[in-house]
Amino acid sequence: MPKKFIKLTAACVLTAIVLYAGGLQPQAAAAVSNPTTVYEPVQQQAQRWVEELAVQPSFAAWKKSTLIVSPIGPGTHSWLVLVMQNKNTVGYLVVNAVESGGYQLGEYGTNSHPLFDENTLTRAIKQLELLKPATQIDRIYVHPLLAAWKITTEKETYYADAVSGESLPAKKEDWTNAAAAKLDKAAPLLNSQKAVLIKQVSLPSFNPFDKLAWLTNKPITFSSNSYTTLFAKINNKEQLRFTAELFDGQMLYVWSVVGYNKWDNGQIYVALEASEDGSDRRYIPLQLLIELGHFYR
């Protein structure tokens, strides 16, 4: 199975992280696994989105599901919502609070092992081969493309990708400095009480590394904030890749584009996968992807 991302240098150093949704401050937060009635409004809003998605074939496993809500952490004003079916995880949502009131849908997916999965954390710790047990484990969520476990020992601090569990060569100050950085334009998110999914396109999974389009082709261009070129290619079932050079260009993330969801308020979430088995499909806001990377044919 291909890796979730490619390291361009042997010793990558995170030097710049962008802040998501125009103002949410990323802070370390202890992982919490037990749901509580304090988060009932979050669960109610998440339930509306889950019920709307569940009528689609790609989300059929979400019907009559149970939701488990846990905060990603104090200061982030975000929650991880696990969609459970017979005690098995069949998907997830990340819900962000809005300062003016209400909630935004940050991302969602049909993963059986979504971001911040405990099994992934266990694998990450094993790969680190720590000489002493971790003294603290935190969750950090900046935006869908920058989420990590922060693993602290008596002398060292390590970071592991929240989805793949692969070690990130980051230092504490790299994440601290991230709080001052922002996207050039905030990514619009779904935030209505009752949103209607008006179109869903779902394509078969494929290996994003079968064709290194980002090395041989120019990225797909857009004009005047019109993305019809991109959607025409997806609707035509063309195999597209999305890449993002993050961490000051020292690391390249690669995903296959396998569809999109369009909601009645105009918000579009693009479906991405890092592998070809369909186990890690994530729906991420289009505007964020355009801000951070490129699409290739």
Q: What is the pTM of this model?
A: 0.84
pLDDT for 28 beyond 50 = no
pLDDT at 101 (0 to 100): 81
Q: What is the mean pLDDT of residues 258-283?
A: 92
pLDDT of the residue at 209: 94
**174 and 66 in contact (C-beta within 8 Å)?**
no
More confident residue, 10 or 122: 122
Beta-bridged to residue 150, according to DSSP, are: 138, 159
Alpha helix positions (H), 179-227: 213-216
73 neighbors 27 (Cβ within 8 angstroms): yes
What pLDDT is attached to residue 240? Answer: 97
More confident of the two residues 189 and 244: 244
Q: What are the tens digits of pLDDT across the range 80-93? A: 999 999 999 999 99
Predicted pLDDT at 132:
83
- Residue of 279, 31, 51, 42 lying closest to 141 (CA atoms): 31
Q: Closest Cα to residue 177, out of 21, 72, 26, 23? A: 26
Q: Which residue has the higher pLDDT, 185 or 182?
A: 182
For residue 189, how many other CB atoms are within 10 A of its CB? 22
Using DSSP's 3-state secondary structure scheme, residue 129 falls into coil
Give the start-to-end residue ranges of the domains of the chain.
Answer: 197-296
Query: What is the rounded CA–CA span in Å between residue 84 and residue 90?
Result: 6
Tell me the pairing of strands 251-263 and 88-97.
unpaired
Tell me phi and psi for residue 33, to 5 degrees. Answer: -110, -15
Q: Which of 36-45, 225-234, 261-270 has the lowest mean pLDDT?
A: 36-45
Alpha helix segments (H runs only) across 142-292: 172-178, 213-216, 228-235, 286-292
